[in-house]
Amino acid sequence: MSNKARSSQLDFLNGDEAVAYGAKLCRPHVVAVYPITPQTIVVERIAEFVANNLMTCEYIHVESEHSAMCAAMGASLVGARAFTATSSQGLAYMHEMLHYVSGSRFPIVMMNANRTLAAPWNIFGDQRDSLAQRDTGWIQVYVENGQEALDMIIQAYAVAEDDRVYTPVMVNLDGFVNTHTFELVAIPEQKDVDEFLPPFKSKNAIDFNHPRSFCMTAATEWNMEFRYQQQEAMNQAKEVIAEVDRRFGDKFGRYYGGLVEEVRCQDAEVVLIGMGSVAGTSRVVVDKLRDKGWKVGLLKLRFYRPFPIEYFKGLSPKVKAVGIIDRDISFGYEGALASDIKAALTSASAPPKVINFIAGIAGRDITKENIEEMYNKLFNLTQGKEEKELQFIGLRW
């Protein structure tokens, strides 16, 4: 696209505010939300936009997260663009409706502030909430900073509403580390976003002249065909995500790499893989170790579903050891990312050795020292030393 974005205003925003601006620029017809820490600022800012006539939408105060998703679904049913946001317990509470929305193919976009699940009660960040929603049929993307958060809300609608996809998208921000951290964020011009993201024209909308039955029973003879349809849409989404990222980059000058972003992975012998804010910390460590001559790389896994299996199948045989950082754990096995990535790596030409690092649970910092420790352990593996396959990093004892 030759018509590049004219300009953008720089503002000092936290991640939640960046999401609110992103949502505003997408001109949703309906925003149905229920506040929950650490997502609340998103809801508050959008309410302010609406109250100050900076945003025209139906802002629905619902009584629960379950209702928030129901309201968004009703809006999408009549062809409206719908937005909502939640976190943790709220996401768990709307679990049932996540299936309804994806199964009915409503391209809703939702922001989720990643926060741990009770018990023990805690409001701080890890990714157990959204990873537990793996099989709800939602596209899941994890962002590293406020700018990516704003940009991905816009990209999320472009992906979700694509004819080949029609699948809802969840944009995940690490609780507090992303949601409450301030940084300079470029806010694109409305006109440019309008050019990038045209009004939603649902090909499945109902109105008085076109009555339709929705969410109806599909009996045993037909149900599996709808599931196949969802899987095909997810496969198609991989291509669409890459296309939308290129188109967004051409317009706004920021490219994110699609499903994954490689950071100094060329010729790397040891690669760490992580999702969300941990990528930001790891970049600094990679640069430091590279300066010392260590062949280290970082793979920022951006999309969890659809999963970039092709990337891992084609992993360079130069990579001898891979570390997978999970801000979650599937009790009784290992981290969720580790299971998926290890399974995909079995198809690689020279499968590397793997350590799964469980870290950053319930808001515990993942420090630069922690990351360096992980790289050290991976180099131990390449030198034939023993390392446990699953390790808790930063554990008190």
Partner 1 sequence: MAKPKIVKFHYPESLAEMPLGPSAAAGILTEPNAGWRVQRPVMDRAKCSKCLLCWVLCPEGVIDKESEELAIDLNYCKGCGLCAHECPKEAITMVGEGE
Question: Minimum Å distance from CB 77 to partner 1?
Answer: 9
Q: Where are the beta strands (DSSP E) in 15-75?
A: 30-33, 58-61
Q: Which two tokens stand for residue 43?
A: 């809801």
Please select the residue that binds partner 1; options are 228, 246, 287, 314, rule is CB under 8 A: 228
**Cβ atoms of 379 and 321 closer than 8 Å:** yes
Question: Minimum Å distance from CB 79 to partner 1?
Answer: 13
Give which of 239, 230, 255, 231 is closest to 308, Cα–Cα. 239
State which of positions 179-218 bind partner 1 (CB under 8 A).
Answer: 203-204, 210-218
The site that binds partner 1 (CB under 8 A) totals a number of residues, namely 21
State which of positions 88-127 bind partner 1 (CB under 8 A).
Answer: 103-106
166 binds partner 1 (CB under 8 A): yes
Q: Which two tokens stand for residue 108?
A: 């809703």
**Distance set, CA 335 to CA 126, 222, 339, 385 (Å):** 12, 35, 7, 23
Which residue lies nearer to partner 1 by CB, 119 or 219?
219
Instruction: Give the DSSP H or E segment for 22.
Output: helix 15-25
Which residue lies nearer to partner 1 by CB, 222 or 331?
222
Which residue lies nearer to partner 1 by CB, 102 or 114?
102
Which residue lies nearer to partner 1 by CB, 104 or 277?
104
Which residue lies nearer to partner 1 by CB, 194 or 232?
232
Question: Minimum Å distance from CB 109 to partner 1?
Answer: 17
Question: Minimum Å distance from CB 135 to partner 1?
Answer: 17
Long-range contacts of the stretch 127-130 (C-beta < 8 A, 24+): 127/172, 127/174, 127/275, 127/276, 127/326, 127/327, 127/328, 128/327, 128/328, 128/329, 128/361, 129/87, 129/88, 129/89, 129/91, 129/92, 130/91, 130/170, 130/172, 130/304
Which residue lies nearer to partner 1 by CB, 206 or 390?
206
Question: Minimum Å distance from CB 231 to partner 1?
Answer: 12
Residues that bind partner 1 (CB under 8 A): 103-106, 166, 203-204, 210-218, 225-226, 228-229, 232
